[in-house]
Structure 1
């Protein structure tokens, strides 16, 4: 992908959330060497939907319930705390609390 990635902070989050587009999100993941599968991408879009409705990144419990997937499955799919990469590549703020 030859997309210019906007400025990011030391943890890789966009400095300006308004810079996010799906293409930028995918380019960020690619630049970081993160495998963004279609299943992960769909979950990321659901998290953005939640964020737009509630103006906050959902905690993992609420997010798992929101999309109807057991949180243990989410941890396995993402191989880490899922809300960190979801919020990073989804152009959302850094999550707080249990992610």
Structure 2
């Protein structure tokens, strides 16, 4: 997957669709938090330490992620796909130079 950037982008578009309406800066923070949360198996203290943010900020972001993704975040298959989609860094912003 990591060697085929088009396939990775398709996966990201599918599993990260709930983040589409978020502002770019917010989407980036939420992706970063989601990836850390998945890596640390839900340990909020570990997420806070890794991201150098207050645990309350982690709680706020996770609440927002649960609002956006709903019960999907409780599904192990969805979590696996999310982890795979985020494993090679944050998604690229949409291409704004399509006409060139």
User: Structures share a fold, TM > 0.5?
Assistant: no
Computing the radius of gyration from Cα coordinates, the structure with the larger value is 2
Q: Greater helix percent: which structure?
A: 2
TM class by shorter chain equals 0.3 to 0.5
Which TM-score applies when normalising by structure 2? 0.39
